[in-house]
Amino acid sequence: MITRSHDVVIVGGGLAGLRAAVGLCEKYDVALFSKVHPIRSHSIAAQGGINAALGNNPDSADDSWEKHAFDTIKGSDYLADQDAVEIMCREAPGIVYEMEHWGCPFSRFSDGSIAQRPFGGAGYPRTCYSADLTGHVLLNTLFEKAVSLGVKIYPEWHVTALAVDENACHGVAAFDLMNGELVSVDAKATLFATGGYGRVYFYSTNALINTGSGIGMAYKAGVPLKDMEFVQFHPTGLIGTNILMTEACRGEGGYLINSQGERFMQKYAPKAMELAPRDIVSRSIQTEINAGRCFEHPLGSYIRLDLMHLGEKKILEKLPGIRDICIDFIGIDPIREPIPIMPCQHYSMGGIDTDVTAATGVQGFFAAGECACVSVHGGNRLGGNSLLETIVFGKIAARSIDKYLSAVSVSPKKDMCVRTVEAVRAKIEHFLAGGKEKTFQLHGELARVMSKHVGIFRTLSGAEAALDEIEALRERYRNAGISSPSMHMNYELMNAIELEYMFDVALSIARGALLREESRGAHSRTDFPKRDDEKWLKHSIARISGDGHPDISLRDVTITRYKPMERTY
């Protein structure tokens, strides 16, 4: 068996992983593994912007990191840990300036400062952006920085399992997709920056690679997950392909219109209107659709996102990417026609349970970015805070890994990593034995179950049905088989390996949704429509039990200075 050793293994080549690598590579032997080339990571698709209280907009001269923190905490429906939010918001201006110094081409105001636009749930226009391609420019900038520093990258190496024993992490099992080799990689510290789990849902804005397998791998290895029931549904996904139509469409002044020609948000958030937080706007849209005040299309029922009144000049300047997507994917030019949209799964608030230093309960194992739950987003993430979180906590992860490696002398157990690889090999042999079940079919059914039963609105019976159906699918997965024994560039095999982890993610979401008897942020139980701070101002922590099912316990939320209040917009 091929084996490799590094000081630090980083899994994931998006913003969080690259930022951590940049912070560590000059001092340590760092290796970054990514199942696609890093520039293909899902960070590239982020559109609207990154929040920081720079006060560049004339309307936001008295903005401050404290106000950013307040908006974030209120947006989270008070489930975010306030110490973590404070750290993120305080670091935000420095992070944005650092990215600018490294070359990020932000849009500018007339005085040459970084431009900032209004975004949902924010009291001030504080979202820094580069047209509607902010993820694209940030990821390119960080990749360029990583190249300039000579970061060791393993592109198209799919990490397939985490090697943990006695509560310490020793490395990973990796799959070199180009050569078709399984490789044991031991490391003194391992960081997961593996992104979200959008593809567990049928309607999702996420890239096809966003399976959440990293979250599942950590869970399988005994690392707890946090707040998994909190799933963000973005109000405006294009019908059919479900490609994201950025919140900046509304930030720049776009309207949401139902089939009666109403700007219906006036019923749900009379002050903030279309710029209420995403959980509220998504529920409002779904309510309109459920009541039949929507338009019909062979691809599904929809609401109109109307940009026409913004005019050609503004659309071409501020939303060129959105216009291209509409033309390429649905044959509509938003300058002349409204965009047909529906709410779609978009973001994973929950994830691997970490503290404010990106550390987990397992020695030597860290997580950052969307796969992690610190928690800075609580029950609902504000637009513009995810790009921020990836870079802030990527940087913090680098610092705390440095601290960890400086403080203790670690010698990872190589044999443990080798055993982990052997277990993966056994799974692959099982798939090759020719089981009848096809993984694409099981995946499709899983995604439909999640969208149907654990979507925007949830009930006790829905969550129970989801758990039963996921269990039945998992049973069928035991008989899954693949067509080709060839190991290299075998995407069918990669999908088969990842699906196991997707079941774990799905179970933990459904289990959390079943237990949490309240409505908070993006978790909306129609049988418990109110927030219940007495019982549920708590994080849910899911640990794998002996039979593979999540055992859920509760943990207090950290409150510093922002007392929970009723959330109106």
Partner 1 sequence: MIRASAYTFKILRFDRKEPGDKARFQSYRVRIIPGLTILAVLNRIRDEIDGTLSFRSSCRSAVCGSCAMVINGRIDLACRTQAASFGTDTIILEPLPNMDIIKDLVVDMTRFWTMYEKVKPWLYRSGPDPEKEIGQTEDARALIDQFVHCILCACCYGACPVISRDPEYLGPAALAKLERFVLDSRDERPRSALNEVNSEHGVWGCDTALKCIEACPKNVRPTDAIIDLRKRLFIDKARQFLGIRK
> What's the closest the beta carbon of residue 322 comes to partner 1, in angstroms?
11
- Using rule CB under 8 A, residue 316 touches partner 1: no
Q: Which is nearer to partner 1, 124 or 569 (CB)?
A: 124
Q: Is 458 helix (H, G, I), strand (E, B) or coil?
A: strand
Going by the DSSP 8-state scheme, the letter that residue 402 receives in this structure is: H
- Using rule CB under 8 A, residue 148 touches partner 1: yes
Of the ranges 252-260, 320-328, 340-348, 389-397, which one interacts with partner 1 (CB under 8 A)? 320-328
Q: Beta 365-367 vs 231-238: how paired, if at all?
A: unpaired
- Residue 271, amino acid: K
d(CA 51, CA 247): 13
- Using rule CB under 8 A, residue 429 touches partner 1: no
Would you give the distance in Å from CA 52 to the centre of its chain?
A: 19
Q: Which is nearer to partner 1, 246 or 385 (CB)?
A: 246
- Using rule CB under 8 A, residue 42 touches partner 1: yes
Encoded one letter per residue, x for contact with partner 1 by CB under 8 A and - for no contact, window 353-382 reads ------------------------------
What number of other Cβ atoms are within 10 A of residue 444's Cβ? 12
Could you say which residues in the range 105-124 bind partner 1, by CB under 8 A? 105-115
| Beta carbons of 17 and 358 less than 8 angstroms apart | no
> What's the closest the beta carbon of residue 110 comes to partner 1, in angstroms?
7
| Beta carbons of 15 and 43 less than 8 angstroms apart | yes
- Using rule CB under 8 A, residue 408 touches partner 1: no
The phi, psi pair for 191, rounded to 5°, reads -120, 125
Among 32, 88, 133, 557, interactor with partner 1 by CB under 8 A: 133
What number of other Cβ atoms are within 10 A of residue 301's Cβ? 18
| Beta carbons of 349 and 377 less than 8 angstroms apart | yes
Could you say which residues in the range 175-194 bind partner 1, by CB under 8 A? 178, 180
d(CA 374, CA 365): 14
- Residue 36, amino acid: V
Of the ranges 79-87, 435-443, 537-545, 553-561, which one interacts with partner 1 (CB under 8 A)? 435-443
What number of other Cβ atoms are within 10 A of residue 164's Cβ? 24
Q: Which is nearer to partner 1, 444 or 529 (CB)?
A: 444
Could you say which residues in the range 484-513 bind partner 1, by CB under 8 A? 484, 486, 488-492
| Beta carbons of 505 and 511 less than 8 angstroms apart | no
Q: Which helix (H) or strand (E) holds 223?
A: none
d(CA 271, CA 259): 22
Of the ranges 82-90, 129-137, 288-296, 333-341, which one interacts with partner 1 (CB under 8 A)? 129-137
- Using rule CB under 8 A, residue 243 touches partner 1: yes
Of the ranges 80-88, 140-148, 308-316, 365-373, which one interacts with partner 1 (CB under 8 A)? 140-148
Could you say which residues in the range 445-484 bind partner 1, by CB under 8 A? 482-484
For the four alpha carbons of 111, 115, 119 and 121, in that order, the dihedral sign comes to: negative
What is each CA distance from 501 to 344, 432, 506, in whole angstroms? 22, 19, 9
Would you give the distance in Å from CA 335 to the centre of its chain?
A: 30
Q: Which is nearer to partner 1, 270 or 434 (CB)?
A: 434
Per the rule left: phi > 0, alpha: psi between -120 and 50, beta: everything else, 300 is: left
What is each CA distance from 434 to 263, 296, 423, in whole angstroms? 55, 43, 18
> What's the closest the beta carbon of residue 150 comes to partner 1, in angstroms?
9
Q: Which is nearer to partner 1, 137 or 382 (CB)?
A: 137
> What's the closest the beta carbon of residue 385 comes to partner 1, in angstroms?
20
Q: Which is nearer to partner 1, 169 or 497 (CB)?
A: 497
- Using rule CB under 8 A, residue 60 touches partner 1: no
Q: Give me the catalytic one of 42, 117, 250, 304.
A: 250
What number of other Cβ atoms are within 10 A of residue 70's Cβ? 17
> What's the closest the beta carbon of residue 210 comes to partner 1, in angstroms?
9
Among 16, 18, 25, 39, interactor with partner 1 by CB under 8 A: 39
- Using rule CB under 8 A, residue 261 touches partner 1: no
Residues making up the chain, counted from first to last: 569
- Count residues binding partner 1 (CB under 8 A): 64
> What's the closest the beta carbon of residue 323 comes to partner 1, in angstroms?
12
- Using rule CB under 8 A, residue 313 touches partner 1: no
What number of other Cβ atoms are within 10 A of residue 136's Cβ? 18
| Beta carbons of 388 and 266 less than 8 angstroms apart | no
Q: Which is nearer to partner 1, 243 or 308 (CB)?
A: 243
- Using rule CB under 8 A, residue 209 touches partner 1: yes
Catalytic residue check, 234: yes
- Using rule CB under 8 A, residue 329 touches partner 1: yes
Q: Which is nearer to partner 1, 147 or 291 (CB)?
A: 147
Contacts of 62 (CB under 8 A, 6+ apart): 55
The phi, psi pair for 356, rounded to 5°, reads -70, -5
Q: Is 373 helix (H, G, I), strand (E, B) or coil?
A: strand
Catalytic residue check, 136: no
> What's the closest the beta carbon of residue 467 comes to partner 1, in angstroms?
26
Residues in the site for partner 1, rule: CB under 8 A?
36-37, 39-42, 44-45, 54, 96-97, 100-103, 105-115, 130, 133, 136-137, 140, 144-145, 147-148, 178, 180, 207-209, 240-241, 243-244, 298, 321, 324-325, 328-331, 438, 440-441, 482-484, 486, 488-492
Catalytic residues: 234, 250
